[in-house]
Amino acid sequence: MSVDHVEELEGRGEGEAVTMAASALRTYAVAPGVRLNVRSGPGTGYALVRVLPEGARVTIFCQRPGTTVAGPYGTTNIWDNIDDGEYVSDAYVNTGSDGYVRPRCS
């Protein structure tokens, strides 16, 4: 972030900055009735970090290719990064698309 951009944000009200950040991201529903495994990387061979409860919604920060998985929303090798070091298979997330909906993870 450039210094000019920081100064520009500082001039705005605190509520405006939060609203701008929140509007850039959205949440997506996990398939109904599914307790979804969260992995440390984009594949089933990565360590299990935690399990999302039924009815969970996730924020997708970026996406990357990994292990191909079949689920309620098709068969795909796309993995969704939902937090730092946390990935879920896109086959279990209702994004409304068979392709990428967020930028590729770097």
Residue 58 pLDDT exceeds 60: yes
pTM equals 0.78
pLDDT of the residue at 78: 98
Provide the residue count of the chain.
106
* Helices and strands (DSSP H and E) totals, the chain: 2, 8
pLDDT of the residue at 25: 85
pLDDT of the residue at 8: 36
The one-letter amino acid code at 26 reads R
What is the per-residue pLDDT across 1-52, written as a single tens digit (0 to 9) for each? 333 333 333 444 444 444 445 447 899 999 999 999 999 999 999 999 999 9
Domain ranges of the chain: 32-94
Residue 68 pLDDT exceeds 60: yes
